[in-house]
Amino acid sequence: MKQVIMAALLLPALMGCGNEPAQEEQEGMEATEAPATPAKVDVPEAVSQAFAKQFPTCTDVVWEMEDGTEYEAEFKENGDPHSASYKADGSWIETETPMKREELPDPVLAAIDAGYAGQTVKEAEELRRPAGFFYEVEVEKDGHTQEVVFSADGAQVEAKAEDEEQGEEHED
């Protein structure tokens, strides 16, 4: 009985989180182009339930495997793009929300200017993790890209160099 009630509660949330491509993606395609079909990911029930509980009003959900061990959902909530990653047991890893460089906190901007002078910020994201809020920026110079994570006070927490030719990431 408990499972039936849980299923009844989760079903509307899961139905609202379909795997349809975003409308703007469909509108940008030529009439002869078919939507790209991502490889089907078999998402564990624990992950589906955790996601539905955390993001009950999401739309346009697309699941993929990241690093072979994480399930990542790309979706929209209130029209804004997000991604959320989970372990196979349903444990939440992080949620990423894109943002503009100028929206980063002043201490993070100062840290970028001091430690990555002359590099271009290609992307910026707010990271929500169990340990708190962080900010990830992708910086680039001379074809070399690096992802750097900062705490809100501007302290560097992580850095990963990306080998663009190979699409690989390397911890620094």
Same domain, 54 and 18: yes
Q: Is the distance from CB of 96 to CB of 136 less than 8 angstroms?
A: yes
- Domains contained in the chain, number: 2
Closest to 96 (Cα-Cα) out of 141, 55, 156, 37 = 55
Same domain, 2 and 73: yes
Confidence at residue 152, expressed as pLDDT on a 0 to 100 scale: 96
The CA distance from 71 to 48, in Å, is 10
**Residues contacting residue 78 through CB under 8 Å, at least 6 positions apart:** 57
Confidence at residue 24, expressed as pLDDT on a 0 to 100 scale: 40
Residue-wise pLDDT tens digits, 86-114:
999 999 999 999 999 999 999 999 999 99
Same domain, 5 and 62: yes
Q: Is the distance from CB of 54 to CB of 96 less than 8 angstroms?
A: no
What is the domain range of residue 170? Answer: 100-172
Same domain, 85 and 109: no
Q: At which of 47, 74, 93 does a domain end?
A: 93
Residue-wise pLDDT tens digits, 34-89:
445 556 789 999 999 999 999 999 999 999 998 889 999 999 999 999 999 999 99
Same domain, 59 and 114: no
Q: Which of the pair, 16 or 157, is modelled with greater confidence?
A: 157
Residue-wise pLDDT tens digits, 1-39:
444 334 444 434 444 444 444 444 444 444 444 445 556
Cα radius of gyration rounded to whole Å, the chain: 18
The CA distance from 171 to 158, in Å, is 8
Same domain, 118 and 155: yes
Same domain, 81 and 130: no
Q: Is the distance from CB of 79 to CB of 98 less than 8 angstroms?
A: no
